[in-house]
Chain A
């Protein structure tokens, strides 16, 4: 379990990174935290010809909090979001989801943007990006552009970004007013990839009646999806809404796969349970925002 040979470059500017990627061609690979990539290299399940390590590129390690949302640079480690009070105030899902990412030693090294670019449907942050309606900024030699989450995720471990490109940040829009969130996972062992996870948002009107209930799931489906569950609870009071009905609706909307750790049916069960639990919590929170 040792990586196959590769070339290594650690550019000190974005332009330099892009030019190396351009000259090295399709089988060059960008590395940030490397916590998903290194195991693949050691098992020789991935053998890029060149690793472009962006850790020395300046300006990618910032969490920028604005009224409109949180912009997370490509070198921000999970731990950097976990304890970021400002980011949590604007978009509480960030810290909530990050707390479920593996174990501390992995969170110290792994990056939020890297896990999004890795596009693993069992990753937490892919779903959070989707649920918040976020986007990523993709830098190419031709310039930078924002790519909406829905256009970014193509399939498991596959994004729409090809050719010389670096995902330089992810933007998570701020939580709307009167909106609460919750995030919960069920995993076999604590810190494992989730068997199933759910992130939700609930928005209330001024009479604390539900105007929106949305959910995105972890380890369910091939790419992150956002499911609108509003119809099951619309207009109902936050305190008495039929969250079980929303859970039942969610079960009909998802299309999970089975694997070693959970059958498709079991995942569907958990989608319902987690939906019900998290929506109720999010609704309580929404009343206080």
Chain B
């Protein structure tokens, strides 16, 4: 029997090339290509009054300089609004190169192409752009105040008013035995993959075809966008996402201006053109996320059960809305988490500011929603003097309540109906894993060392694997090699391994024979992209269905050859055999050869399939009606709606009351992503997510000044955690398979980051006894808080002691 592969920690098949320096990232491709660099706006809001390139023309090595004036046809129009929504009433997008007004520092104004990047930057230095400065809007509160407008034709700065409600919240609040209200903020961070973006474009003039390598999470859609914008026929454009050095969301946005401009230049110049985004460019011209102001009112009864929830929030979407209002929708709909909320209303205004665009960063609005809901749970507990775990328990959706309909509309336009889960199970495991009930002992022990200890928890439900679809192609070659492809891309999630496990399992072949390709439009043209923890759910299931199709065909062909009944056949280790009769067998590779009737014996194996090779049935055509040559199958998975993963995190912090340094001493995770394909990979995703959660809670913040200048656009000042800042993480799993898809999978990619801010805020609040109303928080801010006369004391709850 084939070695069990599903659910096993199979070592990654991508690793060998990556640990020996043989990976192929975008910037590794095309030595000797011309290099692009950009003149970017130094102002957050300004009108361009002139562009003088005269001083740049005599730089040795300059090849071309492009401004808005050089853009033609669709390139001269605004970039697409990728995800339109009826509530996005004032969408605005920029141009590939700024036309007349720049809306944030870093917006591209001029593209330079030169013999290499050094020279290209020299040329940029010599180009003089004159600006007339305009008033700058930074931060949600300034945007709300609307003293100045980001876009002149959007005077209130509101791009969208997102609104959902499940009943009459005002009446429900009025009828609630208790209510409380509070306001809180969450700040900006960013995906910050170690590899910035990059584009490499080669134009074949003889063939009028374009090949683009780009560090993207959505190669098929980049391809379509390039074809549309550059007015090329789709089949003349190939887009490949090679090895991608991390994405976390920023590379799902497309087409980035550079993804259009670099191919445009390659076509115009008839030479390969290359652009590798540098770190400063990434800070000021790629995307950020997270900033919101949240005003929350909750009604609840004397037992702490929520009766009504009303959330009013403002979401900073930056200067433009190319990705629509996905982030605020996700916040709005995922906020309710694992809890039954009888009446819920959420109103989020998505507002413009003169800052870098805000688009999904791992979690994509969920960390904000979790922060709102989980801090609400903490406040109810504090108000009633109840244990925070107990209040959560009283509000959880019960195990017997699935499918559970929240009567909300999710980011995919489909209802938020939780498919399966066991939230009480998560909470029980978490309480045990972190030692919730021993918190008071630990607090006393820490106090004896002069430290203030606190513990916090947060739970979440994450809609994963949204549609519309993904596809998979599985083909068995005559060599026995099994080729697998899917259109979505990989940025480190180990798809080559996980998808190979699925195919090896479904088809009954050794995993060594399986070769997986992702994100290459030459291999698979239909795809959506890698986002929203959807790759395993969507492509995993599509590939499983494709493998099942191949298996069925292989069995059908083999049954004829072996003169056996299909029902009696099995495939094991790449051999089709009659169950219990090992001698009666045919290798899958031979089936593959025979599946393709041949005239020409181009190699030894092919001889078996040629027309005189053996007795045939001359009453039938070689390829039956409705059949196709080859042992291959394409299939698609298109879910009715998303599947909902869930989890619970707890953090224990120690605070030094002399320096206000915050140390996360324990971090516990209980995680449920349905059926697990590869637990090693899933744990890796959790570890990485937690590190980003801790970073977002304590270290990372995009610090804009009031002029819209990003003050910390470097790794020196934007504090992504090193190993020294990340706590050890203990993980427990729970597996509640999804009933929605063949493999029972739920997504795992983003989960680790979601509750970080909420549970660390809770732990700090527990440690110092003062209200935390803004995250992230650093020692200097904590020091300000403890000295502030306005700091609100937290009523003493009973941590660790169930009421």
Q: Do chains A and B touch in the complex (CB under 8 A)?
A: yes
A interface with B by C-beta (< 8 Å): 1-5, 43-44, 186, 188-193, 195, 260-263, 265-266, 269-270, 273
B612 on the interface (CB 8 Å rule)? no
Report how far A261 CA is from B699 CA in the complex, Å: 10
Report how far A186 CA is from B783 CA in the complex, Å: 14
Residue in A190, A260, A265, A273 whose Cβ sees the most chain B Cβ within 10 Å:
A260
Say whether B699 contacts A266, CB under 8 Å.
no
- CB within 8 Å of A: which B656-692 residues: 658-661
Say whether B125 contacts A189, CB under 8 Å.
no
Partner of A191, one of B118, B278, B722: B722
**Which of B82-90, B134-142, B453-461, B712-720 is the contact stretch?**
B712-720
Say whether B778 contacts A2, CB under 8 Å.
no
Say whether A266 contacts B118, CB under 8 Å.
no
Nearest-neighbour CB distance to chain A for B75, whole angstroms, equals 27
**A to B CB contacts below 8 Å, 13 in the list:** A2-B118, A2-B121, A5-B122, A189-B699, A190-B722, A191-B722, A260-B712, A260-B717, A261-B780, A262-B780, A263-B784, A270-B659, A273-B658
When each residue 273-304 of chain B gets 1 if its CB lies under 8 Å from chain A and 0 otherwise, what string results?
00000111000000000000000000000000
Say whether A269 contacts B724, CB under 8 Å.
no
A1-B278, A4-B125, A260-B712 in contact; A266/B783 too (CB < 8 A)? yes
Nearest-neighbour CB distance to chain A for B779, whole angstroms, equals 7
Say whether A190 contacts B121, CB under 8 Å.
no
A1-B279, A266-B779 in contact; A188/B719 too (CB < 8 A)? yes
Report how far A12 CA is from B117 CA in the complex, Å: 31
Chain A residues with Cβ below 8 Å from B780 are: 195, 261-263, 266
Report how far A43 CA is from B125 CA in the complex, Å: 12
Say whether B783 contacts A265, CB under 8 Å.
yes
Partner of A269, one of B122, B278, B659: B659
Assign chain B's interface to a size class: 20 to 34
A1-B278, A2-B117 in contact; A188/B778 too (CB < 8 A)? yes
Nearest-neighbour CB distance to chain A for B348, whole angstroms, equals 29
Nearest-neighbour CB distance to chain A for B61, whole angstroms, equals 11
What 17 new A-B contacts, CB under 8 Å, besides A191-B724, A192-B719, A195-B780? A1-B280, A2-B118, A3-B118, A4-B121, A5-B118, A43-B714, A44-B121, A186-B779, A188-B719, A188-B778, A189-B719, A190-B724, A262-B780, A263-B783, A266-B784, A270-B659, A273-B658
Chain B residues with Cβ below 8 Å from A44 are: 121, 125
B703 on the interface (CB 8 Å rule)? yes
Nearest-neighbour CB distance to chain A for B362, whole angstroms, equals 20
Say whether A273 contacts B659, CB under 8 Å.
yes
Nearest-neighbour CB distance to chain A for B119, whole angstroms, equals 9
Report how far A190 CA is from B121 CA in the complex, Å: 33
Report how far A1 CA is from B280 CA in the complex, Å: 8
Say whether B658 contacts A189, CB under 8 Å.
no
Report how far A152 CA is from B714 CA in the complex, Å: 30
Chain B residues with Cβ below 8 Å from A195 are: 779-780
Report how far A190 CA is from B723 CA in the complex, Å: 9
When each residue 708-739 of chain B gets 1 if its CB lies under 8 Å from chain A and 0 otherwise, what string results?
00011010110101101100000000000000
Report how far A242 CA is from B80 CA in the complex, Å: 67
Chain A residues with Cβ below 8 Å from B719 are: 188-189, 192, 261
When each residue 776-791 of chain B gets 1 if its CB lies under 8 Å from chain A and 0 otherwise, what string results?
0011100110000000
Say whether B118 contacts A189, CB under 8 Å.
no
Nearest-neighbour CB distance to chain B for A116, whole angstroms, equals 20
Report how far A252 CA is from B700 CA in the complex, Å: 32
Report how far A195 CA is from B703 CA in the complex, Å: 17
A-B pairs, 5 with minimum CB distance: A190-B724, A266-B780, A1-B278, A2-B118, A262-B780
Nearest-neighbour CB distance to chain B for A256, whole angstroms, equals 11
Report how far A190 CA is from B725 CA in the complex, Å: 8
Residue of A nearest to B718 (CB): A260
Report how far A76 CA is from B491 CA in the complex, Å: 42
Chain A residues with Cβ below 8 Å from B118 are: 2-3, 5
Report how far A104 CA is from B661 CA in the complex, Å: 24
Nearest-neighbour CB distance to chain B for A181, whole angstroms, equals 21
Report how far A65 CA is from B342 CA in the complex, Å: 77
Nearest-neighbour CB distance to chain B for A265, whole angstroms, equals 7
Residue in A186, A188, A193, A262 whose Cβ sees the most chain B Cβ within 10 Å:
A188
Say whether B712 contacts A189, CB under 8 Å.
no
Nearest-neighbour CB distance to chain A for B280, whole angstroms, equals 6
A193-B716, A260-B712 in contact; A269/B783 too (CB < 8 A)? yes
Partner of A189, one of B279, B711, B724, B784: B724
Nearest-neighbour CB distance to chain B for A257, whole angstroms, equals 13
